[in-house]
Chain A
């Protein structure tokens, strides 16, 4: 069963010429064709391009020029611009947008010799926690087709969980890699802000957005993150610093690693199944030699209100570019310029995007700036200070990724605030710009995946991946497969 192999295993098989990239690509394209109608995880399948990429990869391997990702099929979240390929960002307003250029992440994967299987479904402009705001319809969770896979990188999460692709990219503004990874039973890491280039990654909230890999194992995440990371002059907030090889420290011992459990992550609202699974996972870490202590992140609850000022404020500004003039949807027969703007935008954006644009517009409007935006930026300072205090005492912070397992489709769509609260454990990490990873850590009584989140200090991705890999060596949650896939 080739699809159960990890990227690391497929990489060895390709290098040893046990299989060709063309065969591998046909295999995964067939799986997508046969199975994705159940999930809706892809917006665009790039079969023709994929086979071209695969042929090129096989040539590289034959010539001895292959790297660890040469010939490996991957999927890109539809937020990453791909030259000559539709990049819709899950929105009607970009449904006719054929990107004229590649995102830096896409370029880097091309240079590594990966094969692009297609573009994955997502919440519109990455605004959502359930993948239900997509113009292309919701994605189903492979573990229970009546449930959501999480969001906003729900298509990538479902595609990886259902073995339709060995790995995929995601983006995380308030939890959009980690929460769907948890709810779909896979591994996903949000790197430190600035580690992965945002160039060509369609902007939602620029001071929070960060791309990262979604895979089944921490080892695979390390391999993909190696390819994605690094300084990019095209991104003004890209960090100009060397990137370690994340695979070399995976097998380091974690004896003596100090893990902090924030008391605020285990209070009211946390599903009991999840609390127990995290407790068990923490015991596993103790067996591996980690030292566990309780810590405090006292302002966690404030992270959601602060986020719902900062992110909408930035989105209202970023999404002003969609005006029906230069690209994207344009309304029919505009009476005048204002009508062109208003109708193009109103027809092109969905409800959640409109809500966030309006909240942001209001928060930034004259007379309200101090009460909303400035206050939120101060809370952000408070949250960062909490984390810095915690990292004086511990090396990493552990807790649940999400307060509940995957919920039912439609369960939270009528109440935006209940949807926002599902990101309670992930949002503070974005506000502080820290790295965080979610890895599978058990199942609920209803057989739904549970994720444990590990949060690190700035640029501690290697430590997070090391701690995740060590856990995956002694547990098998990440190898469980949803029935039918």
Chain B
């Protein structure tokens, strides 16, 4: 699979990355090479094999619905880039009419 620079721009947008034009050219080549390498997988017949997501076939553990953690909002927000009144601040996302 060879990617075009338009593909790479789309992938970068989905991954929320900004790439310069020079980066796009470089990544188009590198990602195409990697995908080509990955396609070796197609040589294997896996028609009778179950896909495994986890090596030990564990199921998700449940726990009683009890409060087990204390509130640490202050500690967590003390390392945030911008907070105010207990809220994380980001640029405005809703336009004013």
Contact = CB atoms under 8 A, between A and B. Distances in A.
Q: Do A and B interact with each other, yes or no?
A: yes
Interface of A: 96-98, 100-101, 193-194, 207, 233, 236-237, 239-240, 299, 301-302, 304-306, 308-309, 316, 320, 323-328, 330, 334-343, 345-346, 349, 354-355, 357-359, 361-362, 365, 372, 374-382, 384-385, 416-417, 420, 431-434, 458
B44 A357 contact: no
A412 to B, nearest CB: 13
Given A325-B88, A345-B15, A375-B42, 16 more contacts: A98-B79, A237-B56, A240-B61, A325-B80, A325-B90, A328-B81, A336-B93, A349-B17, A359-B31, A361-B11, A362-B3, A381-B52, A416-B30, A431-B55, A433-B54, A433-B55
Given A377-B52, A381-B52, A433-B55, A359 B34 contact: yes
B41 A357 contact: no
Nearest to B45: A382
Interface in B24-60: 27, 30-31, 33-35, 37-44, 46, 49-56, 58, 60
Contact of A375 (B8, B30, B41, B81): B41
A326 B76 contact: yes
A267 to B, nearest CB: 16
B86 interface: no
15 contacts: A194-B56, A305-B40, A316-B15, A336-B92, A337-B91, A342-B18, A346-B17, A375-B42, A377-B51, A377-B52, A381-B52, A384-B52, A416-B33, A420-B37, A433-B56
A324 B81 contact: yes
Contacts of A336: 91-93
Contacts of A237: 54, 56, 58
A417 B31 contact: no
Contacts of A340: 90-91
B55 A384 contact: yes
A305 B38 contact: yes
Q: Main secondary structure on chain A at its contact with chain B? A: helix
A380 B16 contact: no
Contacts of A372: 38
Contacts of A320: 16
Most buried by A among B44, B76, B79, B80: B44
Given A378-B46, A379-B44, A357 B82 contact: no
Given A340-B90, A342-B17, A365 B38 contact: no
Nearest to A346: B18
A362 B31 contact: yes
Contacts of B8: 358
Nearest to A235: B61
Contacts of A323: 16
Contacts of A325: 80-81, 88, 90
Interface string B71-86: 0100110111110000
Nearest to A306: B41
A169 to B, nearest CB: 21
Contacts, number: 165
A458 B54 CA distance: 13
Contact of B61 (A236, A376, A458): A236
B21 to A, nearest CB: 14
A317 to B, nearest CB: 11
B: interface residue count bin: 35 or more
Nearest to A430: B55
Contacts of A193: 54-56
B58 A194 contact: yes
Nearest to B47: A378
A343 B19 CA distance: 9
A302 B76 CA distance: 42
Nearest to B83: A326
A381 B49 contact: yes
Given A334-B91, A382-B46, A416-B30, A377 B53 contact: yes
Given A193-B56, A237-B54, A308 B34 contact: yes
Given A100-B78, A342-B16, A417 B34 contact: yes
Most buried by A among B12, B16, B91: B16
Given A334-B91, A354-B17, A299 B44 contact: yes
A458 B50 contact: no
A53 B54 CA distance: 38
B93 A378 contact: no
A264 to B, nearest CB: 14
Contacts of A433: 54-56
Contacts of A358: 8, 11-12, 15, 17, 27, 31
A417 B33 contact: yes
A361 B3 CA distance: 13
Contacts of B60: 236
Contacts of A97: 79
B51 A330 contact: no
B14 interface: yes
Contacts of A306: 41
Contacts of B79: 96-98, 100, 327
A390 to B, nearest CB: 15
B12 to A, nearest CB: 6
A355 B82 CA distance: 29
